Amino acid sequence: MSLAKKNIVIAVCGSIAAYKIAHLTRLLVKEKANVQIIMTKEAAEFITPLTLSTLSNNPVLIDYFDPKTGEWNNHVHIGLQADLILVAPATANTIGKLANGICDSLLTAVYLSAKCPVFIAPAMDLDMWKHPSTQNNIRLLQSYGNRIIHPGNGELASGLIGEGRLAEPEEILDFITQSFSPQLPLKGRNALVTAGPTYEAIDPVRFIGNHSSGKMGYALAKQLVALGAKVTLISGPTALEAPQNLDRIQVTSAHEMLEAVVQHFSQSDIIVMSAAVADYTPIEVASQKIKKKEDQFSIALKKTTDILASIGTKKTEKQLLIGFALETNNEVEHAKDKLMRKNLDFIVLNSMQDKGAGFATDTNKVTVIDRFQHIQEFTLKSKEEVAKDICQLIVQHPILTQK
């Protein structure tokens, strides 16, 4: 999708990551977008307005009134004329103001006047990003319809390693370009994806878990984003970096995953349940590390809530529900049984008997069975390619095409 003649407002906040906006501005201008930059006074301490004005071919706006030109910068006009507003880098301070309607600058006034989509690209230190107040403000902004360009993982200005890096300019450009594309088949759809294992605590040190890496679920989430869906990824513990342009919710236990799924299920058009959720969890969790004393040791377990079966009973005719089955024997029969019992639209079957399939691999070999018992087998492929195959079935499904 061309960005030619699109009016894009970049609202720059006071962060060391402001230097990346110079490169982003060049990329947008190269795409023939009309770029208007607004800065906070603090942002001007990190990169000069002259630099961004030169690159954007437009005056940079900071205050309501410019005493040098005698011109009034009309925030309402700017907000109404914009096709898209990008707040980047978005600091914890500005995120808090936007979330709570605090209007103390031209930047925040333009945001409150906007009628167009608003994308927010946070940038801050790890602990600031993880703080409950920041995460609550992010959720508030999302509830208003704003989209978050998730921060990257890596070395931060403080020297810490973790989430908080402003997304790279090329990633932000892709996000903006996709938002304007009318050709994306899942544009306007909400997708919910679960991925990875769950860990069920035995004591503060030990847990019951499985070998799921989360690679399949993450590949599916990434592909759904590429097809235009607004994706919420609920992830158990993994070493994987979150794909860009989606909302990742990190959980540990089956109960935490259940709560997150229930919270987001009703707003989702597409639900892909690829997580390997524990079937059992300890009845009691020791508060201290259990010492090795006895030759034999038993742990009493109880069943976890079957998340897939639970939401299957609540699924509407307008929702597409996909489950996964990893089997070791009588694979097709077990998968068909699960498909019907849990009210799925189709199920993706892996067999542990297939070399290169299953947990902790970069490849997978799947068989897809729909509710009409139609079976479609796929060859061994990379999990990225498998995700494309599955998402193609999602795009073509009657529930979505007839809606």
- 281-325 pLDDT tens trace: 999 999 999 998 888 889 999 999 999 999 999 999 999 999 999
Does the annotation place 315 within a ligand binding site? no
- Say what the pTM is: 0.63
How many C-beta neighbours within 10 Å does residue 100 have? 10
SS3 162: strand
Domains 7-180 and 190-401 equal at CATH topology level = yes
pLDDT at position 403 is: 47
Kindly report the backbone phi and psi dihedral angles of residue 297, in degrees, each rounded to the nearest multiple of 5, phi listed first. -145, 130
Does the annotation place 355 within a ligand binding site? no
- DSSP β-ladder status, 247-250 and 118-122: unpaired
Interaxial angle between packed helices 383-396 and 215-226, expressed in degrees from 0 to 180 and rounded to the nearest 10: 50
Q: How is residue 17 annotated by DSSP?
A: G
Kindly report the backbone phi and psi dihedral angles of residue 209, in degrees, each rounded to the nearest multiple of 5, phi listed first. -145, -165
Residues marked as catalytic: 210
* Nearest C-alpha neighbor of 142 from the set 264, 52, 12: 264
* Nearest C-alpha neighbor of 247 from the set 262, 266, 260: 260
Does the annotation place 20 within a ligand binding site? no
* Nearest C-alpha neighbor of 162 from the set 151, 148, 147, 170: 151
- What CATH architecture applies to the domain 7-180? 3-Layer(aba) Sandwich (3.40)
Alpha carbon distance 142, 231 (integer Å): 12
* Nearest C-alpha neighbor of 197 from the set 183, 211, 186: 211
Q: What are the average pLDDT values for consecutive 10-residue runs of the chain, which has 403 residues? A: 87 95 95 94 95 94 77 83 93 96 92 92 91 91 85 79 87 85 83 96 94 93 92 94 87 96 96 95 93 88 95 94 89 92 94 68 88 87 91 89 62
SS3 8: strand
Domain map of the chain by residue range?
7-180, 190-401
Alpha carbon distance 8, 320 (integer Å): 35
- Inter-residue contact 215 to 362 (CB < 8 Å): yes
Q: How is residue 164 annotated by DSSP?
A: E
Quick one: residue 343, left, alpha or beta (phi over 0 = left, psi -120 to 50 = alpha)? left
- Give the CA dihedral 282, 324, 242, 136, nearest 10 degrees: -60
* Nearest C-alpha neighbor of 166 from the set 120, 134, 232, 222: 120
pLDDT at position 31 is: 92
Positive or negative, the CA dihedral 284, 200, 137, 233 is negative
Alpha carbon distance 137, 150 (integer Å): 14
* Nearest C-alpha neighbor of 46 from the set 155, 166, 159: 166
How many C-beta neighbours within 10 Å does residue 44 have? 17
Does the annotation place 83 within a ligand binding site? no
pLDDT at position 402 is: 64
- 213-268 pLDDT tens trace: 999 999 999 999 989 899 999 999 998 988 888 899 999 999 999 999 999 999 99
- The token pair at 268 is 């989702």
Q: Which amino acid is at 283?
A: I
Does the annotation place 6 within a ligand binding site? no
CATH superfamily label, 190-401: CoaB-like (3.40.50.10300)
Q: Which amino acid is at 137?
A: N
